Amino acid sequence: MTESSITGVLRVIPDGSVTTPEGFYAGAVYAGVKTYGDDKLDLGILYSDRPCHVAAVFTRNEVKGACVLVTMEHVADGRAQALVVNAGCANVCTGEQGLEDAREMARLAALRTGAAARDVLVCSTGVIGVPLPMDRIREGIARITLDPDGGRALARAIMTTDTRPKHIAMQFQHEGRTYAVGGIAKGSGMIHPDMATMFCFLTTDAPVAPAFLDATLRSVADRTFNMVSVDGDTSTSDTMAVLANGAAGGDPIDAGHGAAQLFQEALYGVSLHLAREIARDGEGASRLIEVRVYGAATKEEARRAARAVTVSPLVKTAVYGRDPNWGRVMMAVGRSGARVDVSRAVVRLGDVAVFVRGRPVPFDEEEVRAILGAPEVRIEVNLGVGSEGATAWGCDLTEAYVRINSEYTT
Amino acid sequence: MTESSITGVLRVIPDGSVTTPEGFYAGAVYAGVKTYGDDKLDLGILYSDRPCHVAAVFTRNEVKGACVLVTMEHVADGRAQALVVNAGCANVCTGEQGLEDAREMARLAALRTGAAARDVLVCSTGVIGVPLPMDRIREGIARITLDPDGGRALARAIMTTDTRPKHIAMQFQHEGRTYAVGGIAKGSGMIHPDMATMFCFLTTDAPVAPAFLDATLRSVADRTFNMVSVDGDTSTSDTMAVLANGAAGGDPIDAGHGAAQLFQEALYGVSLHLAREIARDGEGASRLIEVRVYGAATKEEARRAARAVTVSPLVKTAVYGRDPNWGRVMMAVGRSGARVDVSRAVVRLGDVAVFVRGRPVPFDEEEVRAILGAPEVRIEVNLGVGSEGATAWGCDLTEAYVRINSEYTT
């Protein structure tokens, strides 16, 4: 964890996950929906032993999966108790049958857990346009057993082309109570979230009030997952949800509560970690790219400029090739729509300034090649027109991305 | 030539180029600016033996090359007589020195041709952020000799990562006179034009009136180059210009002239051919992808949806892998911002309907794989909400794109 926002009062639990907060259980099985990859878990359930407040954000893609449509209905009352998820088939563009299948998944998970079907979130990820193999889903859900340590198995069960599971938890204390926030997430292609990414599930045992939970989730999504891009494509299944079950006790946490800021920081810290992990594990990626834009006229222009750099295939291939071709960074910033004053702009690769106030600066090419070859590459751009900033994350573009996406149906 | 818009009254001259129209001359040399590729010509001049009306469109990238800024000044009076161009160095982000170098290139070309310096267009393409090697430019321009058949050499001299030169001409007749329209263009990366692409130079000996010339160029750019994408990145040097010298004689051609429509069709036909060739020769591309969107609510939404499909790396890799994964097409359309009614949408790969009115349709996978393996792949999407349409062109994404852009500085 290198994120500077995580202070000493937040304790990071690297092995933590969605079952670190009290009262949460999870389990996963291999049902045979996902037919590729080494890690064969592909179906799981997350469950709270008491009802939760829920907040969620979903893909803005006009084409939404059946599970997204059903989950939007189920979270509308702000209450949830379980989540059922499969990997390998996204149940998108599957017509009326798809909606019926998503509803049946909720009913099956309700039967298995004792939650009400309308309190079950349903999530599916994988190939588009293929009906869910409901016989396998039915048989699989019947085999799921819930475990208070089951969160990491669930993190594996939501993976598609991800090369490793993504999970973390953080704890903070307030007036003698310990609260936890846990999360799991998955990538790793079709990642250019517009509202939320393809699956980030968060839990907390803090008694967070509904309106504050919703506001915090939206703010965190905008600063984390909505600033990640692997390939510029926005999934039809993006779902980011947080369940707060209050099991740790105490008064409801709203904006005026003494633990409000700690909860915000914990939710931000967990989400930031998971968002960066998704970028780092982008399909075929060998490097995480962090782009910091400042000197922008508006916050929105800073965000657009930062994302334009992370999306640019020419920047991504240059980083892959360790090519200090910073001109491509200026090209990407220039096409983002953000205002730029080239005569005042600055570009840094790592800590090395390569373009300062309109002029190329001589630099040690070997030094910059080493910077571009590190596991994390930072690119900074001062647009020279204002004082707003934003940070975005992406990854390099390698031959492996092409192979992964041309060689089999995902 | 398969474009249906080209009717029998337009004669295609496949070997034609910008020197096919009367009164145009061109020449090119190797000056040593471009240090890669087999075809070493890298510096050239286009010249008309009499002053021309000129119309031009330029990149909308906020970061514009010095040559673009100088050329914008030089075409402001609607008059031009020559064009000087180099490949290998874009002269972008080079500060005041860059502007001085671009102006000196214009002066050198003026000395060589006899045109006034303010009537010379200056174009540079290649790496960003490196000053022009003016000693080589000076020495090279002094060696250029102009030839009435020099257009194809000029088409070679503007290539960077292009694998082949792109040139064509068309002729039409009106009231006993023969008029010609010729063009050359180059790609092949950083291609997602927003106003014009990185170099399309057009000439005609028709006496086209300035306002009609400008209106026709803009209309043609929107239907051709502005619908092409290789990698979603917008160059800082995009320039599309047409020179009309009137050498073929006759009355000025404006919108009310009997040859107006023929001229429009010829300029469209030449530009469409060159735009498609740029997509087909996209960096690393093995196939041309044509995306036709219809049933859109507005023309603008049709354009956005069609471009979103051509830009999607997941669609591009699926075509490369001959994977009939049409769900990625719906994903791309859905993220474009265009309205879609999934329950009425239709997707066709070639002539095979794979998704009809909200439902996947069984299809012969081998047949569709063969369609996706052809040199030209057509994808059609009916958005199911209106009656507007648009066509866009792109190419598949292969490992070679990554290699080209990671292995050396372009």
Residue A322: what pLDDT? Answer: 95
Do A242 and A18 contact (CB within 8 A), yes or no? no
Residues 6+ apart with CB under 8 A from B261: none
Q: Mutation test of the interface with chain A: which of B316, B328, B356, choosing the one with the most A Cβ atoms within 10 A?
A: B328
Residue (of A162, A121, A168) closest to A267 by Cα position = A168
Query: Which residue of A lies nearest to B65 if distances are taken between CA atoms?
Result: A331
Calculated CA dihedral for residues B395, B396, B397, B401, nearest 10 degrees: -50
Cα distance between residue A136 and residue A144, in whole Å: 13
Q: Could you give the percent of chain A with pLDDT greater than 70?
A: 96
- Residue A188 touches chain B, beta carbons under 8 Å: no
Task: Encode pLDDT of A301-352 as tens digits.
Answer: 999 999 999 999 999 999 999 999 999 999 999 989 999 999 999 999 999 9
**Residues of A (270-329) whose Cβ lies below 8 Å from B:** 311-314, 317-318, 320-321, 323, 325-328
Q: A355 — contact with chain B (CB < 8 Å)?
A: yes
pLDDT for B409 equals 65
pLDDT of residue B1: 38
Kind of pairing between the strands at B198-204 and B346-349: unpaired
Burial A256-278 (b: 16+ CB within 10 A, else e): ebebbebbbbbbbbbbbbbbbbb
Q: How many residues does chain A have?
A: 410
Distance from CA of B133 to the nearest CA of A (A): 15
Å between A301 CA and nearest CA of chain B: 13
Does B190 contact chain A (CB < 8 Å)? yes
Cα separation, A92 vs B8, in Å, equals 46
A162 Cβ neighbours under 8 A, 6+ residues apart: A186, A187, A188, A281
Q: Evaluate if residue A1 carries a pLDDT over 50.
A: no
Q: What is the pLDDT along chain B (410 residues), one digit of tens a residue?
A: 334 344 558 899 989 999 999 999 999 999 999 987 776 899 999 999 999 999 999 888 888 899 999 999 999 999 999 999 999 999 999 999 999 999 999 999 999 999 999 999 999 998 888 999 999 999 999 999 999 999 999 999 999 888 889 999 999 999 899 999 999 988 877 777 654 457 888 999 999 999 999 999 999 988 888 888 877 777 777 888 899 999 999 999 999 999 999 999 999 999 999 989 988 998 899 999 999 999 999 999 999 999 999 999 999 999 999 999 999 999 999 989 999 999 999 999 999 999 999 889 999 999 999 999 999 999 999 999 999 999 999 999 999 989 988 886 65
B331-356 tens-digit pLDDT: 999 989 999 999 999 999 999 999 99
Q: Does B330 touch chain A (CB under 8 A)?
A: yes
B-chain residues near A313 (CB < 8 A): 231-233, 313, 401, 405
Distances (CA, A) of A125 to A64, A90, A172, A357: 12, 4, 32, 46
Q: Which residues of B touch A408 (CB under 8 A)?
A: 321, 323
Phi and psi at B101, nearest 5°, equal -65, -40
Report CA A5 to chain centroid distance, whole Å: 18
Tell me the C-alpha distance between A170 and A155, whole Å: 16
User: How far does the CA of residue A89 sit from the closest CA of chain B (Å)?
Assistant: 11
pLDDT value for A408? 64
pLDDT tens per residue, range A77-113: 999 999 999 999 999 999 999 999 999 999 999 999 9
Q: How far apart are the first and last CA of chain B?
A: 31
pLDDT at A4 over 90: no
Q: 10 Å Cβ neighbour count for A222?
A: 16
What is the tens place of the pLDDT at every residue in A397-407?
999 989 988 88
Helices (H), A160-259: 210-223
Q: Which residues in chain A are closer than 8 Å to B285, comparing Cβ atoms? A: none
- The angle that helices B95-113 and B134-143 make with each other, rounded to 10 degrees, is 10
Does the structure show a pLDDT above 80 at A158?
yes
Smallest Cβ distance to B92: which of A95, A327, A407? A327
Which residues lie closer than 8 Å to A194 by C-beta, 6 or more apart? A59, A60, A61, A226, A234, A238, B335
| Predicted-complex ipTM score | 0.81
Given A325, A340, A410, which is nearest B63 (Cβ)?
A340
pLDDT of residue A5: 41
Q: If you write DSSP's letter for every residue of B188-214 in order, what string do you get?
A: -SS---SSS-EEEEEEE-S-B-HHHHH
Residues of chain A found within 8 Å of residue B326, distances taken between Cβ atoms:
129
CA distance B61 to chain A (A): 5
List Cβ neighbours of B240 (8 Å cut-off, separation of 6 or more). B56, B57, B58, B195, B196, B197, B199, B200, B201, B202, B217, B221, B225
Distance between CA B341 and CA B336 in Å, rounded?
13
What is the model's pLDDT at position B195?
44
DSSP A253: B
Tens digit of pLDDT for each residue in A177-233? 999 999 998 887 777 765 445 788 899 999 999 999 999 999 988 888 888 887 777
pLDDT band at A45 (very low <50, low <70, confident <90, very high): very high
Average pLDDT, chain A: 91
Name the strand (E) or helix (H) holding B174.
strand B166-174
Count of positions (residues) in chain B = 410
At residue B194, the pLDDT reads 56
Q: What is the pLDDT of residues A351-407, one digit of tens each?
A: 999 999 988 999 999 999 999 999 999 999 999 999 999 999 999 999 998 998 888
State the pLDDT at residue A73: 96
CA distance A174 to B63: 50
Tell me the mean pLDDT in the region A36-46. 87
CB nearest to B330's CB, from A60, A128, A336: A128
Q: Is A403 on the interface with B (CB under 8 A)?
A: yes
B197 is catalytic: yes
Distance (Å, whole) CA A342 – CA B64: 9
Q: Do A95 and B359 touch (CB under 8 A)?
A: yes
The type of residue at B344 is R
Give the pLDDT of residue A227.
Answer: 84
Q: For position B386, what pLDDT does the model report?
A: 96
- Using an 8 Å Cβ cutoff, are B128 and B236 in contact? yes
- Alpha-carbon distance B352 to A86, whole Å? 30
**A402–B contact, CB cutoff 8 A:** yes
The token pair at A266 is: 């914990």
pLDDT at A38: 72
Contact B395, B282 (CB under 8 A): yes
CA atoms in the 13 A half-sphere facing the CB of A309: 34
- Annotated active-site positions of A, please? 197
Q: Give contacts of A 16-75 with B, CB under 8 A.
A: 60-64
pLDDT of residue A37: 73
What pLDDT shows up at residue B193? 62
